[in-house]
Amino acid sequence: MKPLPINLAALVLSALLAAGRALAHGNDFEMVVSLTLEIAQNPKEPGLLLERAEVYRTHGDLETARRDLATALEIQPDFHPARVRLALLARDQGRLDESLQLLNAVVQAQPAQPLALSVRSEVLRRLKRHPEAVADLDAILAIPGIEPIPQLYLDKARSQLEAPSPNTNAILADLDKGIARMGPVTSLLLMALDLEEQSGCIDAALARLDSLAKDSPRKERWLERRGDILARAGRKPEAIKAFSDAMAAIDALPDRQRLTVATTELRAAIESKLGSLGPNPKPAQP
């Protein structure tokens, strides 16, 4: 690397002193040092400023990050990755309208930009504009070749649930689309299970629970969950059987698993739930 001119060296020293105050020492400080030297040699490269801003942002030094991002946009006004990060900063500081304005500009220029759509969806949800938030998530899922992640479907379901008069059947259908697309993802199955139970579709919830438990080597927690659902539904004999099966599953474990603190506490919790159900003439037959 060529020696820096005196004026640039002074600027680099100033930036490094600021970095030292913000980051102390460690890998991130070393990264800022390296990036600062590169920026001094390549002052018109906005990507380097973006990288340094991200280090500052993750450490909570939002104003220093903002200055780097603003400089990157001065160098290249259509450098939208910097605009998205500025929107994230505004979101983190509670300036939701400012964040939305920045994201609208990015999406207008790049309608299939997943990060901008995802962040805008979150901002719209915070602003209680739920149908627009859902529309942004649908736009991401419709991008050709996109590899969806469960969080997209979970966020969509939450936005739908927070809207006035949510349609539970439609939300469940969307979750099932995600499961069909990505396979039996536990987080999606659990959310669908909760919705089915809340809407009174107990048998559907139990069937979904069975699909979750099917490939699990440890059945006791799924059996406990089954007992919880049945108990809340007032199906006492079936709940007693599920809790009893959970106890039996624990008792069948080898000592190294059965005698752990977590398993011991789980057994005590299940035993308490059984006791709270009171006497029952006869548990339901398998």
Q: How far apart are CA 38 and CA 32, in angstroms?
A: 10
Q: What angle do CA 36, 38, 40 make, to 5 degrees?
A: 70
Task: List the one residue out of 215, 196, 214, 218 whose CA is nearest residue 205.
Answer: 196
Report pLDDT for 28.
Answer: 67
Whether residue 5 is contained in a domain is answered as: yes
Whether residue 31 is contained in a domain is answered as: yes
Q: What angle do CA 168, 174, 176 make, to 5 degrees?
A: 105
**What does pTM read for this prediction?**
0.77
Q: Is the Cβ–Cβ distance between 212 and 184 less than 8 Å?
A: yes
Task: List the one residue out of 34, 7, 8, 9 whose CA is nearest residue 19.
Answer: 34
Residues 118-159 have pLDDT tens digits of: 999 999 999 999 999 999 999 999 999 999 999 999 999 999
Q: Tell me which of 81-95, 179-193, 272-286 is least confident.
A: 272-286
Residue type, 163: A
Whether residue 45 is contained in a domain is answered as: no
Burial class of 64 by CB neighbour count within 10 A (0 to 12, 13 to 18, 19+):
buried
Residue 13 has pLDDT above 50, yes or no: no
Q: Is the Cβ–Cβ distance between 106 and 116 less than 8 Å?
A: yes
Look up the domain containing 19 and give its range.
1-40
Whether residue 7 is contained in a domain is answered as: yes
Report pLDDT for 1.
Answer: 47
Average pLDDT over residues 83-98: 94
Whether residue 281 is contained in a domain is answered as: no
Phi and psi at residue 211, in whole multiples of 5°? -70, -30
Average pLDDT over residues 223-236: 95
Residue 228 has pLDDT above 90, yes or no: yes
Residue 5 has pLDDT above 60, yes or no: no
Q: How far apart are CA 55 and CA 53, in angstroms?
A: 5
pLDDT band for position 37 (cuts 50, 70, 90)? confident
Report pLDDT for 95.
Answer: 95
Residue type, 257: Q
Whether residue 4 is contained in a domain is answered as: yes
Whether residue 9 is contained in a domain is answered as: yes
Whether residue 25 is contained in a domain is answered as: yes
Mean pLDDT taken over the chain: 87
Residues 52-65 have pLDDT tens digits of: 988 888 888 888 89
pLDDT band for position 164 (cuts 50, 70, 90)? confident
Q: How far apart are CA 260 and CA 264, in angstroms?
A: 6
Number of structural domains in the chain: 1
